Amino acid sequence: MNSNIVLAVVVSAIAFGTPLVLAGLGELLAERSGVLNLGVEGMMLMGAVCAFYVSQELHWSSALVLFLAVVASMVAGAAMALIHAFLTITIRVNQIVSGLAITIFAGIIGLSSYLGEVWNIGGVAGLHQFNQVNLLGLKNLPILGPLIFNQDVFVYASWVLVVAVLYYLYRTRPGLYLRAVGENPAAADAMGINVTAYRYTHTLIGGALAGLGGAYFTLALAPIWTDGLTAGVGWIAIALVIFAFWRPDLLVLGAYLFGIFSALGPTLQTHHITALPSEFYSALPFLMTVIALAAASTSWANRRIGTPASLGIPYTREEA
């Protein structure tokens, strides 16, 4: 097979995977604390539109504007997450309904589109963009060059974040406490850990990272704003977190795998390399996840794997 095709597929996979990794890590942290957030798509769109607005309206140096745009995207995402957190943690609304409400509120026919209209930023090319950097000057190395040393800041940030979240979860005390909160909130509470605070914090972080993932679209990929330009990536991020069984290392692999499958399909078909349709490959990860979930429910696996058992269930301390 032509190495150019392989390269093209991988490059496209990374582009597809980067917002997935960002939003996915956020959702992973939220779910680890026991909060299911189905509003990721809406939060990403809010991040995208706010970032674009900032980058269009501020007339300062590119670096500063882009930085502020990134900050804006994270604030926007976190603001949406705050609504979700308040509804589900304090008022104890059903997490599914609240998340869907956020998606509708902020999504393709919601606030993000409304703001895009009101701010009049649709359909115009972006003034600023994160370009690919030439990391360590090695962009011309064969194969590895374009893949590793010639990406934009978002991609590098996503890799750094994966390592950071891994370290956070498994090598820091707050990370340990977070895992306890997700797996057994009653035990964590009994040991003096503030379950509510952990849930709020990590839901907000989840929103901020979702916003950041959205900003990738309007600041790096093809800087332009259109309604719903994330095209369902937020939903895939949710599925990805479950597919990765709430582990950051599997998450990043899964993100690129999803990317490869979505890019590979059409490529394989055009070159008549395989009989299986591309949709089969696209659907495969989701089917595998269902099987894995079923296998993990058996008590043999359940004890070993430690899924956030409290996912979706509001926590109430027993009060007489």
Partner 1 sequence: MIGPLRVERRLDTPKWLKVVVPLASLVLAAIIVGILLLATGHNPLSTYHQMYSAAITADGALSSTLVYATPLLFTGLCAAFAFRMRTWNIGGEGQLYMGAVGASATGLVLGDWPRPLVIIAMVIGGALAGMLWAEIPALLRAYLRTNEILTSLMLNYVAGFFMYYLIYDSDSYWRDLTTPGASVFPTGKTLGSHANWPGITIGSFTLPLGFVIGAALAVGLLLLIRSTRYGFEMRVMGDSPQAANYSGIRTKRKILSVMAISGGVAGVAGSSQIGDFGHVLDPRGLQQAQYGYTGIVVAALALYNPIAVVLVSLFIGGLTNAGFALEGPSFPTGLVGTMEGIILFTVLGGEILARYRISWQRRHVVAVGTGVAS
Partner 2 sequence: MLDAGDGRAALAAPAVLASDLPAGAVGRVPKALAVQAIEMTKRFPGVVANDHVSFDAAEGEVHALLGENGAGKTTLCNLLMGLYRPDDGRLIIGGKPVRFHSPRDAQGSGIFMVHQHLRLVESMTVAENVVLGSSSPRQLRFSPRAVERTVAEAAERFQMSVDPRARIWQLSLGERQRVEILKALCRGARILILDEPTTVLTPQEADQLFSSVRDMAAAGRTVIFISHKLPEVLAVADRVTILRNGHSVTTLPTAGTDADDLAGLMVGREVSLEAVAKVTHEAGPAVLELAGVWARGDLGTEALKDITLEVRAGEILGIAGVSGNGQRELAEVITGLRPTTRGMIKIGGARLPTGDPRGAIDLGIAYVPEDRMGTGIAPNLSIAENLMLKSYRAKTMRSGPVLSSRKAIANAREMIERFDVRAPGPRTLIRQLSGGNIQKVLLARELSSQPRVLVAASPTRGLDVGATQYVRRVLRDTATSGVAVVMISEDLDEVFELSDRIAVFYNGRVVGTLKASEADRQQIGLMMAGAA
Out of 170, 271, 287, 295, name the contact with partner 2 by CB under 8 A: 170
Q: Which is nearer to partner 2, 34 or 77 (CB)?
A: 34
Strand partners, 122: 225
User: For residues 85 and 204, is the Cβ–Cβ distance under 8 A?
Assistant: yes
- With contact defined as beta carbons under 8 Å apart, do 182 and 60 qualify? no
Instruction: Select from 214, 209, 218 the least CA-distant residue to 56.
Output: 218
Q: How many amino acids of this chain bind partner 2 (CB under 8 A)?
A: 23
> In 268-309, where do the E strands start and end?
none
Q: Does 207 bind partner 1 (CB under 8 A)?
A: no
Residues 14, 256 contacting (CB under 8 angstroms): yes
Stretch of 173-181, 201-209, 247-255, 283-291 lying at the interface with partner 1 (CB under 8 A): 283-291
- Is 191 a binder of partner 2 (CB under 8 A)? yes
206 binds partner 1 (CB under 8 A): no
**Interface with partner 2 (CB under 8 A), residue from 188, 208, 240, 255:** 188
Using CB under 8 A as the criterion, what x/- string covers residues 104-123 for binding partner 1? Answer: xxxxxxxxxxxxxxx-----
Buried b (16+ CB within 10 A) or exposed e, 30-44: bbbbbbbbbbbbbbb
303 interface partner picked from partner 2, partner 1, none, CB below 5 to 8 A per type: partner 2
Question: Residue 103 interacts with partner 1 (CB under 8 A)?
Answer: yes
Task: Return the range that interacts with partner 1 (CB under 8 A); candidates 4-12, 69-77, 155-163, 272-280.
Answer: 272-280
Determine the 3-state secondary structure of 122 from DSSP: strand
239-258 residues in contact with partner 1 (CB under 8 A) are 239, 242
**Residue partners of 283: CB distance under 8 A and separation at least 6:** none
108 binds, among partner 2, partner 1, none (CB under 5 to 8 A by kind): partner 1
In this structure, what DSSP letter does residue 225 have? B
What distances in angstroms separate CA 185 from CA 57, 110, 176, 191, one per listed residue? 45, 35, 13, 10
Amino acid letter, residue 212: L
Q: Which does 129 bind (CB under 5 to 8 A by kind): partner 1, partner 2, none?
A: none
- Per residue, the 3-state secondary structure of 241-295, as one string, reads HHHCCCCHHHHHHHHHHHHHHHHHHHHHHHCCCCCCCHHHHHHHHHHHHHHHHHH
Q: Is 245 left (phi over 0), alpha (psi -120 to 50) or beta?
A: left
Closer Cβ to partner 1, 175 or 285, answer by number:
285
- Give yes or no for residue 296 binding partner 2 (CB under 8 A): no
Residues 134 and 139: their CA atoms lie apart, in Å, by 6
* Residue 289 contacts partner 1 per CB under 8 A: yes
Size of interface with partner 1, in residues (CB under 8 A): 58
Under the criterion CB under 8 A, does residue 230 sit at the interface with partner 1? no
Site residues, partner 2 (CB under 8 A) = 170-177, 179-180, 183-184, 186-188, 190-193, 303-306
Binding site for partner 1 (CB under 8 A): 36, 83, 87, 90-94, 96-98, 100-118, 227, 235-236, 238-239, 242, 269, 277-280, 282-283, 286-287, 289-290, 293-294, 296-298, 311-312, 317-320
